Amino acid sequence: MKTGPTEMQPTLLLPPERIHKLTGYGMRTHADGYLFRPTSVDEIRRVLDIARKSGRKVVLRGAGRSYGDGNIGAECVIIDTTRMNRVLSWDAGTGIIDCEGGVTIEGLWRTTMEDGYWPPVVSGTMYPTLAGALGMNIHGKNSFKVGTIGDQVIELDVLFTTGELRTLTPADDLFFAVISGAGLLGIITRAKLKMKRVHSGNVKVLAVSCHNWDDQFKVFNQFEHDADYLVSWIDCFGRGASAGRGQIHVAWYLNEAAELPSSLRPDNQDLPDNILGFFPKSSMWQILRYFNNRLGMRFINSAKHNASLLLGNGKEVEQSLVAFSFLLDYVPNWRKAYLPGGFIQYQSFVPREHAKEVFSQQISLQQEAKLESFLGVLKLHKPDNFLFSHATNGYSLAQDFKVTPKNWSRIEALCHKMNDVVLSAGGRFYFAKDSTLRPSDVKAYLGEEALYKFKQFRSTCDPEGLLTTDLAKRLELI
């Protein structure tokens, strides 16, 4: 059968070689999309045109480090901006860096560290791109002190699907919507931000063991006005009087006498290839796999708690900024230990006064369901002005749930119960860590007004409604 030119066109625009099976970091769901990796603004415009002509929606994707479905879209054109990764200018005098959106957090610190500057906000991994980090408006272990990454931005360029490239600053309302907007308003192509001046490549880290939730909040209260970073590991298997047990790490920047101490050299920051000096990190996930079940994780969490009480409690050490900040990058491919079903991360943000009660209830609910989170991480935050803000004057608890072919409906039911507890306490959620929210949950925490404002912005920034994600569809954001 002969094919006419019009029938041929969609195939030419979107050849099958472009089809990639993509997933969020948790690997629970996958979606096939047509992957494009443009290297310039003009090339992005051309890809938008291809999407338009072939009747496809467009998904923006950075390094794919969001856990859920916020960076995938079935049968969509995927614009992956990781190749737009040039540092456009760096001024060691002012600490201001100007770069393309595909520069990673790693790219930032590798550029500025030897001049005595560190990214003001980093996630628990160094691999996200700046544009992806702004899309979700990430926070770090210093969230209570400096806010989110959006709070550090001086200006950014956004390409709208109309083809217009606009520079936005904090004087623009739209600035606060594009940052946090989950890639649904425009393509961030460039951002300028102020890096944090540091006088050492190391931080002083104090470990404090906690027997329960009361201890946790007492220690956070004790250090929040003085520390630069605060983060706690929670053993989600702890119950009764031990519920909320874990270990807090409090950290402070250091001052070294030398103008540019050797700790600032990037090669002195690199994570080691081996654990305990001999065991290759690259093989760790294969061992982790054998423990990655309820019994194994109960054992590991308990052993970690006991070791922290006996050996670590009250100890102060110096650690490189990289080792302290990117603990999760120590074990490459650790997520593979969750295969074949993958995992989800669930993070809720709760006002201070309700945090203990809400997190205790969440953990009781998962223990009753025999679906305990294998990892719990507690952080302190402050509120911000971004449209889809997850932050609050309170605490967040991030939890990882292993998904198997059999347990998904039970995990969903558990998360929905936990959502209700969070919402009744005036809490919030985070799209980067979401796989289970319902549209009604989003309406309840963001409010009708924010969602209306978002739709108004979308009608001018993306009038054809090209931009989408599976998350946006699931949550009826678009």
Ligand X SMILES: Cc1cc2nc3c(=O)[nH]c(=O)nc-3n(C[C@H](O)[C@H](O)[C@H](O)COP(=O)(O)OP(=O)(O)OC[C@H]3O[C@@H](n4cnc5c(N)ncnc54)[C@H](O)[C@@H]3O)c2cc1C
In the complex, the residues that contact ligand X under the rule CB under 6 A are 25, 60-66, 70-71, 81, 101, 123-125, 128-129, 131-133, 135-136, 138-140, 182-183, 187-188, 328, 432, 469
Minimum CB–partner distance for residue 27 and ligand X (Å): 11
Task: Say what the alpha-carbon torsion angle 284, 348, 445, 58 is, to the nearest 10 degrees.
Answer: -10
Instruction: List the one residue out of 374, 411, 212 whose CA is nearest residue 298.
Output: 374
- Give the nearer residue to ligand X in terms of CB position, either 32 or 115: 32
Closest approach of Cβ 390 to ligand X, in Å?
A: 8
Identify which of residues 195 and 378 has a Cβ nearer to ligand X in the complex: 378
Q: Shortest Cβ distance from residue 84 to ligand X (Å)?
A: 8
Based on CB atoms, which residue is closest to ligand X, 191 or 243? 191
Give 378's strand partners: 232, 397
C-alpha–C-alpha distance, residues 120 and 154, integer Å: 13
Which of residues 104 and 209 has its CB atom nearest to ligand X in the complex?
A: 104
Residue 386 beta carbon to ligand X: minimum distance, rounded to whole angstroms:
12
Closest CA to 153 of 168, 141, 166: 168
Residue type for 141, please? Answer: K
129: helix, strand or coil:
strand
- Residue with Cβ nearer ligand X (46 or 265): 46
Given the complex with ligand X, which of 77 and 243 has the nearer CB atom? 77
Give least dist CB 197 to ligand X, A. 22
Provide, rounded to whole angstroms, the least separation between the CB of residue 262 and ligand X.
Answer: 28
Tokens of 257: 């006498």
- Judge contact between 320 and 410, C-beta under 8 A: no
Compare residues 135 and 261 and give the one whose CB is closer to ligand X: 135
Q: What is the DSSP letter of 350?
A: E
CB neighbour class for 19 (10 Å; exposed up to 12, middle 13-18, buried from 19): middle
CA dist 194 and 352 (Å) reads 29
Residue 467 DSSP one-character state: B
Distance, CA of 440 to chain centre:
23
The two three-digit tokens of residue 10, written as one number: 């969609």
Query: Minimal distance in Å, beta carbon 256 to ligand X?
Result: 26
